């Protein structure tokens, strides 16, 4: 071997930034476009939200604009708006403006709404128009939980928790109006839901005003709490199977 060959290095240093084979640029085109469904796993809670909302009889529940009129441009499907609100309350996003932002940047919401992007005014008007229907949605999920034997059916009394709202003083109940036995049972079983709603779900005040509106909003809150508990206990796949049964 000549001295010239021995002086030649086996590799040359790379000048400039080094990239690994897995690095890709944002502007790089893909041969096969990635599907949004690939980003949502089979055990993602949004899959149950879709199965549950699609299985509801929205017209019987009292939702407005379930059937589009023959003339004019059809509005958003109430099922899609309900999915958005259920997802938002489960994930501590209640503001209509924040929900609108999620429809543009959150891949789970994009999958759930199939790229629909309602504005914040449409989102804000939905619970006002359909406040009474939320109660029936809550009842339907309670029926689903009973089918899965998730409720113990204990006798409880809820004397209220301090969530800011406008209320008539004549409708308040004091400790003197309830027996000691029921109060003790309430402390054992009800403090966890209210603590979770107020602290983890960050709902220290209602966004809507008026007793009927607050009742509808709390139905959404209770529904979101029950869905989270049911997912923790039995899992997403079991709930999807029950919703589609």
Identify the DSSP state of 205: B
Total domains, the chain: 1
Q: Does 186 fall in a domain? A: no
Quote the mean pLDDT of the chain.
79
Q: Does 190 fall in a domain? A: no
pLDDT at position 59: 92
Give per-residue pLDDT as tens, 39-89.
899 999 999 999 999 999 999 999 988 877 777 777 899 999 999 999 999
Instruction: Evaluate whether 12 touches 207 at the Cβ level (below 8 Å).
Output: no
**Domain that includes residue 56, residue range:** 36-66+73-152+211-244
Identify the CA nearest to 224 among candidates 41, 49, 43: 49
* Residue 155 clears pLDDT 70, i.e. is over it: no
* Residue 203 clears pLDDT 70, i.e. is over it: no
d(CA 132, CA 216): 6
The mean pLDDT of 14-22, rounded to a whole number, is 55
SS3 57: coil
User: Residue 202, class by beta-carbon neighbours within 10 Å (0-12 exposed, 13-18 middle, 19+ buried)?
Assistant: exposed
Residue 23 pLDDT class (50, 70, 90 cuts): low
Q: Does 161 fall in a domain? A: no
Q: Does 136 fall in a domain? A: yes
- 228 vs 152, higher pLDDT: 228
Q: Does 96 fall in a domain? A: yes
Share of the chain above pLDDT 70, in %: 68
Q: Does 46 fall in a domain? A: yes
Q: Does 100 fall in a domain? A: yes
Residue labelled with tokens 């804000």: 124
* Cα separations in angstroms, 68 against 24, 52, 76, 134: 45, 22, 9, 20
What residue spans of 196-235 are helical by DSSP H?
Answer: 211-234
Residue labelled with tokens 């938002």: 88
User: Residue 83, class by beta-carbon neighbours within 10 Å (0-12 exposed, 13-18 middle, 19+ buried)?
Assistant: buried
- 47 vs 216, higher pLDDT: 47
Q: Does 234 fall in a domain? A: yes
The mean pLDDT of 178-184, rounded to a whole number, is 59
pTM across the whole model? 0.72
SS3 164: strand
């Amino acid at each position: 071997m000549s001295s010239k060959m021995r002086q030649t290095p086996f590799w040359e240093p790379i000048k400039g930034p080094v990239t690994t084979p897995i690095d890709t640029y944002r502007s790089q085109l893909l041969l096969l476009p990635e599907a949004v469904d690939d980003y949502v796993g089979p055990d993602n809670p949004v899959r149950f939200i879709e199965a549950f909302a699609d299985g509801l009889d929205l017209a019987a529940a009292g939702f407005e604009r379930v059937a589009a009129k023959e003339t004019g441009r059809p509005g958003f499907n109430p099922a899609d708006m309900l999915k958005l609100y259920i997802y938002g309350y489960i994930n501590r996003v209640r503001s209509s403006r924040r929900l609108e932002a999620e429809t543009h940047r959150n891949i789970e919401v994009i999958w759930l709404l199939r790229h629909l992007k309602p504005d914040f005014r449409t989102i804000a008007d939905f619970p006002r128009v359909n406040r009474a229907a939320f109660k029936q949605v809550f009842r339907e999920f309670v029926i689903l939980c009973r089918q899965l034997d998730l409720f113990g059916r204990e006798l409880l009394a809820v004397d209220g928790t301090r969530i800011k709202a406008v209320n008539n003083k004549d409708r308040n109940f004091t400790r003197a109006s309830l027996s000691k036995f029921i109060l003790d049972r309430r402390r054992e079983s009800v403090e966890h839901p209210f603590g979770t709603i107020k602290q983890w779900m960050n709902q220290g005040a209602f966004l809507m005003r008026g007793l009927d509106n607050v009742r509808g909003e709390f139905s959404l809150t209770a529904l979101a709490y029950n869905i989270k508990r049911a997912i923790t206990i039995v899992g997403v796949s079991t709930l999807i199977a029950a919703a589609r049964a």
